[in-house]
Structure 1
Amino acid sequence: MGKPAGRWYARRRPRCLPGFFKSLGGRYKRIRRRTAARADPVRYAHGVAQLSQLEALAEAGELTLFYGDESHVCQQGYVPYGWQFPGEDVFVPAQKGFRLNCWGLFSRDNRAHWATTSQNINAAFVRDRLEELSLQLAGPTVIVLDNASIHTANLIQQCRHRWAQRDLHLFFLPPYSPHLNIAETVWRQLKGGWLQPADYAQADQLAYATNRCLANFGKALTIKFSPFKSN
């Protein structure tokens, strides 16, 4: 019984694991992080409905809609996935120590306001960036943010009336809904697509490459964002 079973396996087995997984309906894709907690369905539905209205107004040219978020790059590298072939030694040089924090506001039509710093991004940093933006507006502008403490801090809340008078308004996403923030897509593309393994070799090179990528967003580097869906 053992030999026939062995011959059957050798004859029927897929040539490679990806082929086997595909035969089962699997796909090779990024494994995304997801918050452990779940959004309250009523609050989530209400927030999505409001965001849908903002998206419609932005598409009609009635306002400008930016999505804001923070992230960072560091010399430990970012390797979501990759292929390696015989004879190749594929790796990202990893060093501890250097970390560059990034702040960005991004629109679906690939406009951006951004800044990088080696210092921590805190509520004061966010306030200063939004204050600068409030003095440059050409029309009504809404900034979509998550509920991180640096976004909802008293330091930010105290400025909202002044910013509203300048036509800069804040909209907070429902809790536990990072998938609604297109800034997350930009950070993934920055780390997993635009930055190259060689950029991580030296701190200066990584800082230069990161700033170069963000400066080219909307020019040489663009993203075709998926249309907003309310369900």
Structure 2
Amino acid sequence: MKLADLDTLKQAAVEGYVELKYLDESGCCRWSPVSYSYSRIGSQKQMAQIGSRGGRISILGLWQPQVSFEYALVQGGFKTKRYIEVMDWIAVKAKNTLVETGRISVIVHDNGSLHISKKAKQKWLEWQEKGLFVFFLPPYCSEMNRIEEEWHQLKTHEIAGQMFITSYQ
């Protein structure tokens, strides 16, 4: 699909013809840097530290504006196998949506290597048969993926400055 088709997809979603969702991966550490803030003169802002700073958590999020936010978590980063497992799960949900409402589901995401890997490409036809279609944004256009707004909100307002004792807290 062409970029102009994204506007058409958005309009089709507004009119209730398609389920339009945005997918992206983001990562968080168990510790957050201390953000800029105010403190009393002569004192410094302090936060209790956890024993280890390791343990990056990756989130593969699927956001449908004003409707839902679904996600999968892994320690480290997502690999093609796990991405396909998540997309298979989304395809089952898309099939149910297609049967119940007649609407296809369209997932907007970037051209990340795991999204366009040989193994992922082999699944596209299977996903389409279930009513799940993928729409790829042009390279270097992450700002067009509306889930980026949600990642910003999460990182700057929800978890900024927090320390997590375990990887699943």
Matched, 1:153 2:117: yes
Residues 142-196 of structure 1, C-alpha deviation per residue, up to 9 Å, x if partnerless? Answer: 0001011111111111011111011000000011101001121111211111125
Instruction: Find 1:86's aligned residue among 40, 48, 54.
Output: 40
Structure exhibiting the larger radius of gyration computed from Cα positions: 1
SS at 2:115 equivalent? helix
Instruction: Find 1:169's aligned residue among 133, 138, 145.
Output: 133
CA distance in 1, matches of 2:166, 2:108: 31
TM-fit CA distance, 1:126: 1.0
Runs of 5+ consecutive residues of structure 2 not aligned to the other structure: 99-103
* Higher fraction of strand: 2
TM-fit CA distance, 1:203: 2.5
* Higher fraction of helix: 1
Q: Residue 202 of structure 1 aligns with which residue?
A: 165
Matched, 1:74 2:29: yes
Instruction: Find 2:149's aligned residue among 164, 185, 189.
Output: 185
Instruction: Find 1:63's aligned residue among 18, 29, 53.
Output: 18
* TM-score, structure 1 as length reference: 0.63
Q: Residue 101 of structure 2 aligns with which residue?
A: none
Where do 4+ consecutive residues of structure 1 move more than 6 Å?
none
Higher relative CO (Cα under 8 Å, sequence separation at least 6) belongs to 2
CA distance in 2, matches of 1:127, 1:163: 10
CA distance in 2, matches of 1:102, 1:91: 28
Q: Residue 14 of structure 1 aligns with which residue?
A: none
Structure 1 pair 85/127, CA: closer, same or farther in 2 (3 Å)? same
Q: Residue 61 of structure 2 aligns with which residue?
A: 104
Judge conservation of contact 2:23–2:61 (CA < 8 Å) in 1.
yes
TM-fit CA distance, 1:120: 2.8
Runs of 5+ consecutive residues of structure 1 not aligned to the other structure: 1-42, 209-231
CA distance in 2, matches of 1:96, 1:150: 27
SS at 1:102 equivalent? strand
Structure 1 pair 128/201, CA: closer, same or farther in 2 (3 Å)? closer
- The code of the aligned residue for 1:152 comes to I
CA distance in 2, matches of 1:57, 1:120: 33
